[in-house]
Structure 1
Amino acid sequence: MDVFSRYAPFVQDYIYRQGWQNLRAIQQAAGDAIFNTDQNVLLSAPTASGKTEAAFFPILTLLDEEPPSSIGALYIAPLKALINDQYQRLNDLCAEPGIKVWRWHGDVAQSQKRKLLRHPSGILQITPESLESLMLNKHMDIPSLFGDLRFIVIDEIHSMLRGDRGGQTFCLIERLARLAGCHPRRIGLSATIGDPTAAANFLAAGTGKGTVTPKTGDTHEVWRLSMEHFYQDPHQAGQDDDSNENTQPALEEATDKAPTMADPGLAYIFEHTRGKKCLVFTNSREECEAVCQALRSYCAANHEPDRFMIHHGNLSTAFRETAEEAMRDDNVMMTTCATATLELGIDIGRLERAFQIEAPFTVSGFLQRMGRTGRRGNPPEMWFVMREEHPESRAMLPELIPWSLIQGISLVQLYLEERFVEPPRTGRLPYSLLYHQTMSTLAAGGEMTPAELASRILTLSYFDDISQDDFKVLLRHLLKTDQIERTENGGLIVGLAGERVVNNFKFYAVFQENVEYSVHSGSEELGTIVKPPPVGDKIAIAGRVWVVEDVDHKHHQVYCHEVKGRVPAYFGDVPGDIHPRILERMQQVLQEDKSYPYLMKNAIARLKEARAAAQSSGMLDHPLINLGGKMWCLFPWTGTYSFLALERLLRRKCAKRLGLRGFNSVRPYYMQFSMDVDEQHFYEILKEEAAADFDPLDLLFDKEVPSFDKYDPYLPDELIRKGFAEGVLDIKEMRRCVRRIVRQGHSKYVK
């Protein structure tokens, strides 16, 4: 029997109503895996290929054939917006058989949540943070809610593979299954899985089952891709070169029409979004605000109506949903400036193209952002816009390389040539999450003996690398700091200090948060900021500028009114997790003498300049380059965490022997420093120290406590230090990098 015939009649009717002539390959493959095995399933296919339906058509068929006595399927998604989008689609599908679809997140009315608690059934859609809240606050209801849970669908699973939020999600799934006494199958969905085997193992951890990863064939992908480069002044790369004397006509036109368009890259975006529905992606909320302000000012300078909206995580729900609704409306030709909040799979209508300002950190991010376009029969379309300050005449070598342009080329080429996407990040020691899940388990379950608590926590798959000794160190510290306390019976409960942490709604999230202030203009909530300025100063939010009228520090409220102008925004630090393969491919971009069909004129000229600078400097043959006198520059061509380990090796283990001083790095591209030894001795010393059998803790400075994760402040210093040394610093990759540096860079000296 084929998959379509196996579907329930209401699913078949739904397919007929949609006018589909046949099932897509991923839907056929998913149906076969879900119907004909009892394994977990990982569905990886391009954006808009029908993965959600591929999973839910067979799931709903099975739930309809044998209705569960509780919630039958749990759908976990990283964004409320994605849940809201899928909620409408699933309701349409489930209306005929009367299968109930529920939502549980911060914007859902309590009345709806109470109905679910009284009559658990159907499908529940939830975020990781709301699942944490449910496990903590409705602990006694978990068996009745999920006792007959059959499936857990994890959407955008790639976003769960490299950090504590994914670890939290999988810890919660395991805890829920144990508490409810159920054994649900896991179904992972993603458009960007690079290593299916590693992702499949991650998905299945703790289930006792394998994972089926259906093969649907190598689909032929068609992209519309361009990449252009702009200096942030009128003179562009290659203008003095006869072969590139004609710059983009649209840019010249824009500059002539509006002299106030001081940023040629944004002027380029301004002209190429007119009359179209587009997205403009940035890598930070600060940049998102700045770009939106500038584009709106160009509208004013050209006497055009404002055609730009904004969407990022610090905006109020009303602002975000307004932008989402406008994007879904095919009659509204607006462009939205956005961060990763629109990177994941919500349906935002028929977008004509996406712009990406600077290179994203990951191949996965690039693919997700490009995948926002290309729906409803059109190919995905992305225009990269790379901007940099014009190097000064006396600029040293590293400043002559357009790092963002080279990184953008590397991201694209890695996927085109190898289908490379970042794999799950393994080998970490997630002590911050260990604290969080320990406190959550104690708060939810009440008094436990130390042995019982350890059996519940250390058996969670995500903590496989945590030893019993480490857990004892944690518990002793938590007792000492009153995070937990011992009862007369010898059991453990949450202490007074711990209650202040656990009873705060921010406890549900494990990602790092800044202290945020809610911003209001009259009765309208605009969003949140950090570090509010004094009264009378200006702030930037929602793509506009506001003057601060009052700051209520006790209640974290800011009151303001709108004015004209432009000011920078600040929402906290932006992390970057760049894989070693990206840096290695960047080096190859500079080495190879080939063109890339998606590069535009300025980018071609700028790449030519960069290759000439790299070639003449010798940096492609010798990673260590003399910048003059005793000043040197090292180009390791490795990822963020191995780069960080190499920094520490040089500063902690090599500094005295090298006579190292004035150390400065631009991660993960290069390091600059002065030293007293010559090039030959540098390589010899580096090789010896990297090969030595040292304790990873030796790479930390005396009394250094590198606190990065949200709950690090509640950990003992020794675990923070160990977690950084053994779980963050990638020493294995660093040693591989050093061997390559020594071999390639100075083989004429090192025999």
Structure 2
Amino acid sequence: MTARPEAPAADAADLLHPVVLHHIVNTLQWPGLRPLQEEAVAPLLAGADALLLAPTAGGKTEAATFPILSRMAAENWPGTSVLYLCPLKALLNNLTPRLGTYTGWLGRQAAVWHGDVAESRRNRIRRERPDVLLTTPESLEAMLVSLRTDHRGFFAGVRTVIVDEVHAFAGDDRGWHLLAVLERLRRIVAAEQASAHGDRGVPRNTTPVPRDAPDGPPAAAGAEPRWELQVIGLSATVGNPTELLRWLQGSGAGRRPAHVIAPDLPTASSATAAGPVTVPPGEVELDYVGSVTNAAKVLATLHRGEKRLVFCDSKKTVEELGQALRALGVATFLSHASLSAEERRRSEDAFAQARDCVIVATSTLELGIDVGDLDRVIQINAPGTVASFLQRLGRTGRRAGTTRNCLFLTLTESALVHAAGLLSLWGQGWVEPVVAPPEPRHIVAQQVLAYCLQENRIGDRTWADEWNGLAPFDRSAEPIVRHLVRAGYLDSDGGMLFIGPEAERLFGHRHFSELTAVFTAAPEFTVLHGRDEIGRTDPVLLTDPVEGPRLLLLAGRSWRVTHIDWKRRRCFVEPAEGGGRARWLTSADGGLSFELTRAMRDVLLGTDPPVPLTRRATQRLATVRENHLDVVHPGGTMIVRTEDLTDVRWWTWAGERANRTLVASLGDLADPLQAPTASYLRLRSDLTPPEWRAATADLESRLCLPHVTDEALAGLKFNTALPPRLAEATLATRLADLPAATTVLREPVRFTTLEN
């Protein structure tokens, strides 16, 4: 795999189709291509796989689509030949007009397909088969299993798949789902080509043959040349771009040419790759405000007349800050996943048109959704990763003469240290590697069931061929398939497997729509004002005892509950003056990483981030450092007991997953019922140093996976389709950090008593 292609010729744009080049010059009136777009032309025209890396608004979409549209026109690709996959429906809606314009230059068409697209529009897409289809992986799979879509005919001519925001897929189970669906797509393309070329004795499930393969079967007279599926990923900065591209290639990794194209980014994309990278801080500032109310006051007085995008770490904070800003007379809009699509669209459209205003959002606006030119980004507290911060920072500085900027307003002392640690890592040029979650056995079960729906019945010995040998969807999954048969998810007859009664019962609702959704959504009630949907809320707010009227906070406004339809999970409301509450369940994740937690320890030890701190932040950070003198040490970890011996804490500063691993491995030395934090875990109160040394002497060689609760297991969708032990092992592996736990155990430990 080539880390970066050869420097492009000065006339890279001249390689594009003349019509595309004409419109770049005359319609878009660009003076030239950006470096990323120049470097992408030659490898993409040659059919290579690629990962295009650039900050937000770095021109990645055009870098991918201009060469691919040029190929489409030059080679006269028929039917639906390009799939453009996005993680969010809103991003698809945002991109469709732009891609519709580009395809229109060539007399071609683009269309969007996702869960909100009306059936009449879908029927038109089935009939007319647009040249470029924008969709999500879940909707793509829904088309594969649908009886209404001729999936073989529809997808037979697909040449290229573009995956936007690929890092948003790769870090969780949606990435495994994406890879598996793309392998099934490869099989359809290969089978249809085999049929078109008159291959005999070639089963439908066959490995794709490169069009330039010297020993491939000869093409039938007049037949189209063979091709392999080309995959192109678009991403912001990641710490492991070469590995991410190899992951995206799936079964094509190592067989196909591949390029990481990132001319606008440093050659070393993580501090562990080739030493620290110098990153100009720009206009980034860190402040401490102490409360949502104070944050609203700062936002109401700062940068008046400008468009400000405020990111929050929870939907609850979005609602509370939105209400507080409106009370101060600030034109405020909200966006988060529990607001209705119409409510979000109104907010985003109104914000895009306005000037002196604020939009408050969760990570829903972190990706490339266009909300117009922004002047400022404000971060309440801190995101969980450097990569997420880079995405948010990249929302600014798009206009000529402007710079990228971000103001951190932290609400708590822990958030202040978190933000300072994150900014320290950013200043070093360090970015998290994007790593797929290990052992996705539940996705394997989902894929086998989905494949049965797609083909009606599959061979009990040939099912693994469908994923072209890609692990873990290969023969190693046979125990899972046997369990699916035993448990009734699959029926077996005459050497064939097909959907069984248990799968019908659990996933058959609405034509098996639940089977194509990888995540389990938290149970929420739809909130309605008359016939208008406002959003969704946690049912706990509808059951908690209250005095007086039951008030909700949603879309930045207070609502009084007038009626609850428990059967249909609906809640009817009317406007109220104030006092509403907001609450949503948060899904469990791995918490803060080892690297970020260690950076926070460094901050407590005196390291300052390479950005300006306000006087409030400087004073508060000094106080926090003084209060943590007894729990941080540069030479190792600390075990600290209170003077009355009632509490003993091991300050590992290792991250939540590492601490979970250590709790499970320490046995009765640790409190088994605790929920470890990223910085410490609790030990037995009567623990002595000799007992500690004896118990941990060989602990590194017998580390255990964390305990999995039934509640946590319920959040792993399709866990019931696995043997219980496999389901628990899958989740336990994801909650563990064995390398970080090992690092901690190899460090010196200091014992101290905290005096009152």
TM-score in same-fold range (> 0.5): yes
Map 1:167-182 → 2, pairs under 5 A: 167-181=176-190
Distance 1:59 1:161, change over 3 A: same
8 A Cα contact 2:640 2:751, kept in partner: no
Q: How many angstroms does 1:215 deviate by?
A: 4.2
| Counterpart check, 1:463 vs 2:452 | no
Residue of structure 2 equivalent to 1:344 = 367
| Counterpart check, 1:730 vs 2:745 | no
Q: Per-residue CA shift, 1:190-209, capped at 9, x if unaligned?
A: 11222112212112221232
Q: How many angstroms does 1:595 deviate by?
A: 6.0
Residue of structure 1 equivalent to 2:32 = 22
Q: 2:725 aligns with which of 681, 699, 718?
A: 718
- Give the Cα–Cα distance (whole angstroms) in 2 for the partners of residues 352 and 131 of structure 1: 37
What secondary structure does 1:22 align onto? Answer: coil
Residue of structure 2 equivalent to 1:530 = 538
Distance 1:145 1:359, change over 3 A: same
Distance 1:112 1:213, change over 3 A: same
- Give the Cα–Cα distance (whole angstroms) in 1 for the partners of residues 372 and 161 of structure 2: 27
Residue of structure 1 equivalent to 2:12 = 3
Q: 2:311 aligns with which of 281, 291, 313?
A: 281
Give the TM-score, by structure 1 length.
Answer: 0.85
| Counterpart check, 1:404 vs 2:419 | no
Distance 1:569 1:67, change over 3 A: same
- Give the Cα–Cα distance (whole angstroms) in 1 for the partners of residues 469 and 523 of structure 2: 31
Amino acid at match of 1:43: L
8 A Cα contact 2:424 2:608, kept in partner: no
- Give the Cα–Cα distance (whole angstroms) in 1 for the partners of residues 638 and 630 of structure 2: 13
Distance 1:526 1:448, change over 3 A: same
What secondary structure does 1:213 align onto? Answer: strand
Q: How many angstroms does 1:490 deviate by?
A: 4.3
Residue of structure 2 equivalent to 1:237 = none
Q: How many angstroms does 1:294 deviate by?
A: 2.2
Amino acid at match of 1:353: R
Distance 1:579 1:711, change over 3 A: same
| Counterpart check, 1:543 vs 2:543 | no
Residue of structure 2 equivalent to 1:259 = none
Q: Per-residue CA shift, 1:528-587, capped at 9, x if unaligned?
A: 223150595222211112122222222222111110213332222144443221112222
- Give the Cα–Cα distance (whole angstroms) in 1 for the partners of residues 262 and 469 of structure 2: 30
What secondary structure does 2:47 align onto? Answer: coil
What secondary structure does 1:153 align onto? Answer: strand
Quick one: percent identity of the two aligned structures? 27
8 A Cα contact 2:171 2:437, kept in partner: no
| Counterpart check, 1:142 vs 2:151 | yes
Gap regions ≥5 residues in structure 1? 233-261, 389-401
- Give the Cα–Cα distance (whole angstroms) in 2 for the partners of residues 80 and 369 of structure 1: 19
Residue of structure 2 equivalent to 1:72 = 81
Q: How many angstroms does 1:643 deviate by?
A: 2.4
Amino acid at match of 1:275: G
- Give the Cα–Cα distance (whole angstroms) in 1 for the partners of residues 155 and 326 of structure 2: 49
Residue of structure 2 equivalent to 1:156 = 165
What secondary structure does 1:463 align onto? Answer: coil
| Counterpart check, 1:95 vs 2:104 | yes
Residue of structure 2 equivalent to 1:447 = 457
Deviates more, 1:66-75 or 1:610-619: 610-619
Amino acid at match of 1:544: R
- Give the Cα–Cα distance (whole angstroms) in 2 for the partners of residues 273 and 471 of structure 1: 60
- Give the Cα–Cα distance (whole angstroms) in 1 for the partners of residues 472 and 302 of structure 2: 49
Q: 2:394 aligns with which of 371, 387, 393?
A: 371
| Counterpart check, 1:296 vs 2:326 | yes
8 A Cα contact 2:309 2:358, kept in partner: yes
8 A Cα contact 2:20 2:106, kept in partner: no
Q: How many angstroms does 1:34 deviate by?
A: 1.2
Q: Per-residue CA shift, 1:440-470, capped at 9, x if unaligned?
A: 111121122322234436x563526x763x5
Distance 1:571 1:491, change over 3 A: same
- Give the Cα–Cα distance (whole angstroms) in 1 for the partners of residues 693 and 580 of structure 2: 47
Q: Per-residue CA shift, 1:578-599, capped at 9, x if unaligned?
A: 3221112222222235464321
- Give the Cα–Cα distance (whole angstroms) in 2 for the partners of residues 675 and 619 of structure 1: 22
| Counterpart check, 1:200 vs 2:245 | yes
Amino acid at match of 1:416: G
Q: How many residues align?
A: 680
Distance 1:627 1:211, change over 3 A: farther
Q: How many angstroms does 1:124 deviate by?
A: 0.6
Residue of structure 2 equivalent to 1:42 = 51
Q: 1:359 aligns with which of 378, 382, 390?
A: 382
Residue of structure 1 equivalent to 2:284 = 225
8 A Cα contact 2:126 2:149, kept in partner: no
Give the TM-score, by structure 2 length.
Answer: 0.85
Distance 1:379 1:498, change over 3 A: same
| Counterpart check, 1:51 vs 2:60 | yes
Q: How many angstroms does 1:744 deviate by?
A: 5.6
| Counterpart check, 1:647 vs 2:686 | no
8 A Cα contact 1:142 1:180, kept in partner: no
Amino acid at match of 2:63: A
What secondary structure does 2:695 align onto? Answer: helix
Q: How many angstroms does 1:357 deviate by?
A: 1.0
Amino acid at match of 1:168: H
- Give the Cα–Cα distance (whole angstroms) in 1 for the partners of residues 466 and 29 of structure 2: 50
- Give the Cα–Cα distance (whole angstroms) in 1 for the partners of residues 233 and 562 of structure 2: 48
Distance 1:537 1:33, change over 3 A: same
Amino acid at match of 1:497: E
Amino acid at match of 1:226: E
- Give the Cα–Cα distance (whole angstroms) in 2 for the partners of residues 88 and 703 of structure 1: 45
Distance 1:427 1:264, change over 3 A: closer
Q: 2:405 aligns with which of 365, 371, 381?
A: 381
| Counterpart check, 1:583 vs 2:583 | no
Amino acid at match of 1:385: L
What secondary structure does 1:145 align onto? Answer: helix
Q: How many angstroms does 1:683 deviate by?
A: 4.1
Distance 1:129 1:617, change over 3 A: closer
| Counterpart check, 1:628 vs 2:643 | yes
Distance 1:359 1:462, change over 3 A: farther
Q: How many angstroms does 1:355 deviate by?
A: 1.2
Residue of structure 1 equivalent to 2:230 = 185
Q: How many angstroms does 1:701 deviate by?
A: 7.6
- Give the Cα–Cα distance (whole angstroms) in 1 for the partners of residues 417 and 111 of structure 2: 46
Residue of structure 1 equivalent to 2:258 = 211
- Give the Cα–Cα distance (whole angstroms) in 1 for the partners of residues 709 and 587 of structure 2: 27
| Counterpart check, 1:513 vs 2:521 | yes
Distance 1:568 1:683, change over 3 A: farther
What secondary structure does 2:251 align onto? Answer: coil
Q: How many angstroms does 1:498 deviate by?
A: 0.8
Q: Per-residue CA shift, 1:145-201, capped at 9, x if unaligned?
A: 222211110001111121101111111111111123262111111112221122121
Gap regions ≥5 residues in structure 2? 1-8, 191-226, 267-278
Q: How many angstroms does 1:723 deviate by?
A: 1.3
- Give the Cα–Cα distance (whole angstroms) in 1 for the partners of residues 515 and 448 of structure 2: 12
Q: How many angstroms does 1:746 deviate by?
A: 7.0
Q: How many angstroms does 1:384 deviate by?
A: 0.7
Distance 1:191 1:436, change over 3 A: same
Q: 2:498 aligns with which of 493, 500, 503?
A: 493
- Give the Cα–Cα distance (whole angstroms) in 2 for the partners of residues 508 and 163 of structure 1: 15
- Give the Cα–Cα distance (whole angstroms) in 1 for the partners of residues 671 and 121 of structure 2: 62
- Give the Cα–Cα distance (whole angstroms) in 2 for the partners of residues 64 and 640 of structure 1: 52
Amino acid at match of 2:246: N
Q: How many angstroms does 1:737 deviate by?
A: 2.4
Residue of structure 1 equivalent to 2:336 = 312
User: Alignment RMSD, CA only?
Assistant: 2.6
What secondary structure does 2:111 align onto? Answer: strand
- Give the Cα–Cα distance (whole angstroms) in 2 for the partners of residues 629 and 618 of structure 1: 21
Amino acid at match of 2:23: Y
